[in-house]
Amino acid sequence: MTLVFPAQDPVTLAVAGTANRFPLHRIYCVGRNYNEHVVEMGGVAGREPPFFFSKPNDAAVGNGVFPYPPMSKDVHHEVELVVALGPGLSIFGYAVGLDFTRRDLQAEAKKLGRAWDTSKAFDFSAPMSPITPRSDVMKKGAITLDVNGTRRQTGDIAAMIWGVDEIIAELGRYFILKPGDVIFTGTPAGVSAVQKGDRLHAAIEGVGTFDVTVT
Ligand code: MN
């Protein structure tokens, strides 16, 4: 087979403690999965069925650099536990992820009933730490994000409205899940805008830490 032009390189993520790489397939994301964040976004706390959106897999970057995107003046950080799926829908491991969001474009999309692609699925919008192999269903663990040394987001995995196993089951009703898929599981309260030069330090107990600089 001869390609008419070279294919894009496959996207892979580092796996903590090994030189092997995780072949990334799709990036799914869960919206509104911590009540305190639901409330800060103007919603009502409760347990509605989870809703999903996605990002292109080449939005995942692991080099610790987030280039501030064009077309927005209000880009927010959302620190999230990321579940990485292996063969047979097993849990391969977990990562610390940042679901960067053009909040101004998202607010406009919500108002006009439009899709979230430009607010959520832009280039470099899904920085991820190396994946820590761990096959259990995580049920607790502190999750935090500091910006320039100041704590901005604090929560615990135990406060997720929909648990890791429930998210995988519900998502699998809508999509054919495959090895290499990852799922961002929602963000706790405290989202706020980033600026060029900001240094972000994210941590999830039992998974690891992840440093990202906004350039
Ligand atoms: Mn999010």
Q: Is residue 118 in a domain? A: yes
Burial class (CB in 10 A: 0-12, 13-18, 19+), 73: exposed
pLDDT band at 99 (very low <50, low <70, confident <90, very high): very high
Evaluate whether residue 7 is within a structural domain: no
Cα(147) to centroid(ligand 1), Å: 17
Ligand 1: distance of its center to the CA of 98 in Å? 8
Angle at 58 between CA 57 and CA 60, to 5 degrees: 80
Summarize the confidence of residues 57-84 as an average pLDDT.
97
| pTM over cut 0.85 | yes
Asked whether residue 5 is domain-assigned, the answer is no
CA distance 53 to 115: 9
Ligand 1 centroid, distance to 187 Cα (angstroms): 5
What residues have a C-beta under 5 A from ligand 1, the ion? 78, 99, 187
> Does some domain include residue 27?
yes
How many structural domains are present in the chain? 1
Q: What is the mean pLDDT of the chain?
A: 96
- Residue 22 sits in a domain whose CATH number is 3.90.850.10
Residues 41-57 have a mean pLDDT of: 90
Those residues whose C-beta lies under 8 Å from the C-beta of residue 146, and which sit 6 or more positions away, are: 152, 200, 201, 202
Cα of 5 vs centre of ligand 1, distance in Å, is: 35
CA atoms within 13 A on the CB side of 87: 0
pLDDT for res 49: 85
pLDDT (0 to 100) of residue 44: 86
Residue 2 lies in a domain: no
- pLDDT band, very low/low/confident/very high, at 46 (cuts 50, 70, 90): confident
195 CA to centre of ligand 1 in angstroms = 18
Q: Is the per-residue pLDDT at 37 higher than 90? A: no
| 178, β-bridge pairs | none
In a domain, 6, yes or no: no
Residues 95-120, mean pLDDT to the nearest whole number:
98
What percent of the chain is predicted at pLDDT more than 70?
100
Q: What is the mean pLDDT of residues 45-63?
A: 92
pLDDT given for residue 188 in this prediction: 96
The rounded percent of the chain whose pLDDT value lies above 90 is 92
Please give the distance, rounded to the nearest whole angstrom, from the Cα atom of residue 136 to the centre of ligand 1.
22
What confidence tier does 45 reach under pLDDT thresholds 50, 70, 90?
A: confident
SS (H, E, C) the chain: CCCCCCCCCCCEEEECCCCCEEECCCEEEEECCEHHHHHHCCCCCCCCCCEEEEECHHHEECCCEECCCCCCCCEECCEEEEEEECHHHCEEEEEEEECCEEHHHHHHHHHHCCCCHHHHCCCCCEEECCEEECCCCCCCCEEEEEECCEEEEEEEHHHECCCHHHHHHHHHHHCCCCCCCEEECCCCCCCCECCCCCEEEEEECCCEEEEEEEC
Query: Does residue 115 have a pLDDT over 90?
Result: yes
Domain that holds residue 129: 12-214
pLDDT at 202: 98
User: How does pLDDT run across 186-208, given as a tens digit for each residue?
Assistant: 999 999 999 999 999 999 999 99
Q: What is the per-residue pLDDT across 121-141, written as a single tens digit (0 to 9) for each?
A: 999 999 999 999 999 999 999
User: Quick one: pLDDT at residue 97?
Assistant: 98
- Compute, in angstroms, the gap from residue 97 CA to the centroid of ligand 1: 9
User: How remote is the CA of residue 15 from the centroid of ligand 1, in Å?
Assistant: 23
Distance from the CA of 192 to the center of ligand 1, in angstroms? 12
**Does residue 76 lie in a domain region?**
yes
Alpha carbon of 40 to ligand 1 centroid (Å): 13
How much distance in Å is there from the Cα of 143 to the middle of ligand 1?
A: 14
Please check whether residue 201 lies inside any domain of the structure.
yes
